[in-house]
Amino acid sequence: MTQLTDITSIKVNDFGSKKQHSYVEALLEIKNLRLRTIIGFNDWERKTKQDVVINIKAGFTPGNSTKSDRVEDTLNYKTLTKRVIKAVEESEFNLLEKLTQMILDIVMENHRIIWAKVKVDKPFALRFSDSVSIELSAKR
């Protein structure tokens, strides 16, 4: 599992108080996004949408958002999630690999993202298992 390195610099003024933090990287996690899509290559799988569970982790530059408190200065996770939802629900896939790659491509389109990891679970894909999953990652 990738650990986010805490890269901060703290400047101390003459009175010993903290003056500034400089954030190089932030971590976004979107957990257990449950969607439905056509997934699978068997005839019965092509007839009805099935559940998939999506988890996204992304390291990104927070920009000035830690000071400005403005969504325009950071990665807007609502916009990102809406793009993923639309793409997944409007598409059909034979393989989890293709679905996972499409989501990873959407995430990496954002210029603020340094690296990303996407995991897609297909619940009950195998008898006697909770799910089958594929995880892909990318970095700049």
Whole-angstrom distance, CA of residue 73 vs CA of residue 112: 10
What is the per-residue pLDDT for 66?
84
CATH 3.30.1130.10 fits 24-63+72-137, yes or no: yes
Return the domain boundaries, the chain: 24-63+72-137
User: Cα–chain-centroid distance for residue 70?
Assistant: 21
Mean pLDDT of all residues belonging to the chain: 88
User: Could you read off the pLDDT of 37-51 as tens digits, one per residue?
Assistant: 999 999 988 999 999
- 85, amino acid identity: I
Instruction: Indicate the Cα dihedral angle 106, 116, 98, 43, nearest 10°.
Output: -100
User: Could you read off the pLDDT of 28-78 as tens digits, one per residue?
Assistant: 999 999 999 999 999 988 999 999 999 999 999 988 888 889 998 899 999
Question: Count of CB atoms within 10 A of residue 29's CB?
Answer: 10
Which residue has 């969607």 as its token pair? 35
User: Could you read off the pLDDT of 89-122 as tens digits, one per residue?
Assistant: 999 999 999 999 999 999 999 999 999 999 999 9
**Phi, psi (deg, nearest 5) at residue 35:** -130, 170
Radius of gyration of the chain (CA): 19
Considering the chain, what percentage of its residues have pLDDT values greater than 70? 84
pTM, two decimals, is 0.82
